[in-house]
Amino acid sequence: QVQLQQSGPGLVKPSQTLSLTCGISGDSVSRNNVAWNWIRHSPSGGLEWLGRTLYRSKWIYDYAASVKGRITINPDTSRNQFSLQLDSVTPEDTAVYYCARSLYGMDVWGQGTTVIVSS
């Protein structure tokens, strides 16, 4: 049974960097053609896909245009986890952040981390 366990701070100051980690059990971050995603659910409404990494003979990184330039997703094969870094955050980045595996759709999700951007 695949499980994702998220960790990271729930409060970040404006202009600083949001950092979250997603630990994987029951699967491997370097499994071929399986994508590891970050998604957020903001107070204003819907779900927003932020980005993903996957291994396909080499590491591939895809990011949403809305956060490109501020976002970095990194796999950590030694710890079997992947991370999210979002730079220069503003209050508009306040949201519940989720990690998720894509095997056939996003079929396994982390528990979610509420991140508030406030001074």
Binding site residues, another protein, CB under 8 A: 37, 39, 41, 45-49, 52, 62, 64-65, 98, 100, 102, 104-107, 109-112
Shortest distance, CB of residue 67 to another protein, whole angstroms? Answer: 12
If the CB atoms of residues 38 and 81 are measured against another protein, the closer one turns out to be 38
Helix, strand counts (H, E) of the chain: 0, 11
- 12 near 111, Cβ under 8 Å? no
If the CB atoms of residues 16 and 23 are measured against another protein, the closer one turns out to be 23
Shortest distance, CB of residue 27 to another protein, whole angstroms? Answer: 16
If the CB atoms of residues 12 and 100 are measured against another protein, the closer one turns out to be 100
Shortest distance, CB of residue 45 to another protein, whole angstroms? Answer: 6
- 39 near 50, Cβ under 8 Å? yes
End-to-end CA distance of the chain: 39
Cα distances from 19 to residues 12, 57, 58, 79, in angstroms, run 9, 27, 24, 16
DSSP reduced 3-state for 91: helix
Shortest distance, CB of residue 80 to another protein, whole angstroms? Answer: 20
